[in-house]
Structure formats: C-alpha cells, structure tokens
Amino acid sequence: MSSLNAAWTRFWQSSGADDAFASSRLRKTPYLVVAAFIAIAHLGSSWLGYLLLSGGSGVTPVFPEAALDLVIVLVFGFRYWPVLLAAYFAASLWRHTPWLPSCGVAMASLLRTMIAVSLVRWVASRKNRLGHFEDLVGIVAAGAVAPGLAAAFGTACLVLGGRFPAAQ
C-alpha cells in the first residue's frame, strides 16, 4: 500500500510541476473572493446546462460547469477543490437528489475535474515531443477520459442511492 501511496504522491507532484499559471497574478487574489466567484459561476453554469433538459430523465446532456471548473483549477490552482466539492454537492441537491447520492455525484464530479487537470498538465509537459499540437491532445484527453470515469462512478452512486433503477 505504501508503494501505491508513493506513486500517487509522485504523480500528483509532477502534475503540478508544469503549472503554466503558477506565477499568475490571479493566484494572489484573496481566497474568499475567488471562492465566491467560483460558487456563483459554477451554480450559474449548472443551471444553464439544466435549461437544455426536455422533460423526462433529469440528466443533462451537457455539463458547462465541467469546462468552467477545468479552467478555474488550471488558472487558480488545486487549492479551490473544497469550493468545487461544495458547489457540486449543492448543484446535485438543487436537482432534488438525496444527500447520500449527492455526495457520490459531488465526489465523481471533483474526480473528473482533477483527472482532467492532471491530463492537461501531463500532456503539456510533453510539449517538446508534440509541439503546439499538445493543446489539442490535452483538451481531447481531458474531454474523453475524465468524464467517462466520473460518469461510471456517478451513475453507480445514483443507482445505489435509488435515484435511477439499475435496469435503466
């Protein structure tokens, strides 16, 4: 177990090693100001995604907050993960999901964002091999891999929480 923990620690530290925004002036903005901005922007974009629902399922076809949160973490850093977790939880509760499945959905959504950020940074660290093509590869990897993992985990939480029948 300690080797797995050491590998995870190395991966997490290396994903932040190539942080293009580490010296940004935005990182020096007061925490509460950025946290309030994140909460309002996240909940607003979540509401926007749910405007696209056309009755029935209660599952939105797009998640504009996912892209917004990816940019937020890339620009402002990982230190805002508690704000994102609370915003994911609040958005799930707002959709009348019981609290326990909402916890699972919030964790899956946070996992999606952190995996996407790590993939973008990992691909960006390979710039000498990929050239300017790295931006496209990073965005495609973040858009394809991270949502799939989060969707599997989030769906399992919703089925186990009784929000959706397993047969559906």
Alpha-carbon distances of 16 from 21, 65, 81, 151, rounded to whole Å: 10, 22, 14, 25
Q: Are 21 and 74 in contact (CB under 8 A)?
A: yes
Answer yes or no: pTM beyond 0.75: no
Q: What is the DSSP letter of 52?
A: T
- Those residues whose C-beta lies under 8 Å from the C-beta of residue 17, and which sit 6 or more positions away, are 125
Q: Where are the alpha helices (DSSP H) in the chain?
A: 2-17, 31-50, 64-76, 81-94, 99-124, 127-130, 134-160
CB count, 10 Å around CB of 64? 18
Taking only the tens of pLDDT, the chain with its 168 residues reads 566 556 556 655 555 556 777 778 888 889 999 999 999 988 888 777 777 665 555 555 566 777 888 888 888 888 888 999 999 898 888 877 777 888 888 888 888 888 888 888 877 776 666 666 666 767 777 776 766 666 666 667 667 766 666 665
Amino acid, res. 118? S
